[in-house]
Homo-oligomer: A and B are copies of this chain.
Amino acid sequence: MKKLINRPDDVVEDALHGLERAHPHLLKVSFDPLFVMRADAPVVGKVGIVSGGGSGHEPMHSGFVGRGMLDAACPGAVFTSPTPDQMLAATRAVDGGAGVLHIVKNYTGDVMNFDIAAELVAEEGIAVASVVIDDDVAVENSIYTAGRRGVGATVLAEKICGAAAEEGQPLARVANLCRQVNECARSMGIALTSCIVPAAGRPTFAIGDGDMEVGIGIHGEPGRERMPLQTADEITDLLSSVILRDLPFVAGDRVIVMVNGMGGTPLIELYIVFRHLAAVCDQHQLIIERNLIGNYITSLEMAGCSITVLKADDELLRLWDAPVLTPALRW
CB neighbours of A270 from chain B (8 A): 4, 18
Q: How many residues of A contact B (CB 8 A)?
A: 57
CB neighbours of A269 from chain B (8 A): 3-5, 15
Tell whether A283 is near chain B: CB-to-CB under 8 Å. no
Tell whether A41 is near chain B: CB-to-CB under 8 Å. no
Chain A binding site: helix, strand, loop or mixed by DSSP? mixed
Q: Indicate if the CB atoms of A4 and B63 lie closer than 8 Å.
A: no
With A59-B267, A298-B267 known to touch, is A4 a contact of B232 (CB < 8 Å)? yes
CB neighbours of A141 from chain B (8 A): none
Tell whether A181 is near chain B: CB-to-CB under 8 Å. no
Q: Which residue of A268, A274, A304 has the most chain B CB atoms within 10 A of its CB atom?
A: A268
- Which of B5, B264, B266 is in CB contact (< 8 Å) with A58? B266
- Which of B16, B232, B267 is in CB contact (< 8 Å) with A5? B232
Q: Indicate if the CB atoms of B6 and A233 lie closer than 8 Å.
A: yes
CB neighbours of A229 from chain B (8 A): 2
State the CA gap A264–B271 with chains docked (Å): 16
- Which of B11, B59, B235 is in CB contact (< 8 Å) with A4? B235
Listed A/B pairs (25) with beta-carbon separation below 8 Å: A2-B192, A2-B303, A4-B232, A4-B235, A4-B269, A4-B273, A4-B305, A5-B232, A6-B232, A12-B268, A14-B275, A15-B272, A15-B275, A18-B270, A18-B274, A18-B293, A19-B271, A22-B274, A56-B268, A58-B271, A59-B267, A264-B264, A264-B266, A330-B330, A331-B331
A interface with B by C-beta (< 8 Å): 2-7, 11-12, 14-19, 21-22, 55-56, 58-59, 63, 192-193, 209, 212, 229, 231-233, 235, 263-275, 278, 291, 293, 295, 298, 300-301, 303-305, 327-328, 330-331
User: Across chains A and B, which 7 residue pairs bring their CB atoms closest together, nearest first?
Assistant: A18-B275, A18-B271, A4-B269, A2-B192, A15-B271, A18-B274, A58-B267
